[in-house]
Amino acid sequence: MTRLQLMRAEHGSAVREFELANRAYFAASIPDRGDEYFKDFDVRHGVLLAEQDAGTVYFHVILTADGEVVGRVNLIDVAEGSAELGYRIAKRAAGRGLATAAVRTVCVRAGAAYGLSTLRAVTTLDNHASLAVLGRTGFEAVGEEEVDGRPGLRFVRDLRDVRESRDQPDVRDAPSFRKSKP
C-alpha cells in the first residue's frame, strides 16, 4: 500500500535516494536537476520546507509501507488561488496508476485544504505518460509552450468541482506494486 504525505524533514534522505536512483529515468522526459541539486541536499531540503511553511509551495511524497519514496507531487508558485503542479514517479513504480491517483488526491487537497481554485501544469508533447495523467485527472490543454527546448502543452485544472464532490480519491486507491517489476 502507498500513501501520500506532505513532505517533512524526516523525508530528506529518502527523497534524495529517490531522486538519485531515478535521475537518468527522469532526465529522459524532463529537464535534469543537475549536480547542484544534490550538493548540500540537506540544506536545500530545509529551505524547501521553510517555503512550504510560508505557504508558497506544497511538496508531497508518495511512500511505500516501509517508508520508501516512490513518487513526488509538488505544487509550486502558490499565489492568488493558483499553483503549478509537477510530479514524478520512480521507474519501478511507473505504469501502474500511481501518478493518476496521486494527482487526483493532490487536486482534492489543493482545493479543500490549501484553498486553491486552479492548478497549472506543463509537459512535453513526447511525454505520453504525463499527457495521459493530466487528461485523466481533469486538466485541459490551453496552449502550446516550449519546455527545455522541446514542444509542449500548457494545461489548467479548475478545482471548484473537487471542492463540491463527495468523492474524495486517495493515492491508497492506486494499484499496489511489487518491489521487482518485470
Going along the chain from its start, the domains and CATH numbers come out as 3-173 (3.40.630.30)
Per-residue pLDDT of 58-78, as tens digits, reads 999 999 999 999 999 999 999
So what's the pLDDT on residue 117? 97
Q: Are 142 and 156 a contacting pair, CB within 8 Å?
A: yes
DSSP H/E element including 142: strand 140-147
Cβ burial 81-100 (10 Å sphere, 16+ → b, else e): ebbebbbbbbebbbebbbbb
Specify which residues 88 forms β-bridges with: 72
pLDDT of residue 164: 56
pLDDT over 80 at 19, yes or no: yes
Higher pLDDT, 10 or 171: 10
pTM of the model: 0.87
The pLDDT tens digits of the residues spanning 72-113 come to 999 999 999 999 999 999 999 999 999 999 999 999 999 999
Q: Given pLDDT bands bounded at 50, 70 and 90, which one contains residue 147? A: confident
Give me the half-sphere count of Cα atoms (radius 13 Å) on the Cβ side of residue 75: 31
Angle of the 98-112 helix axis to the 128-136 helix axis, nearest 10: 50
Q: Which is it for strands 82-89 and 140-147: parallel, antiparallel or unpaired?
A: unpaired
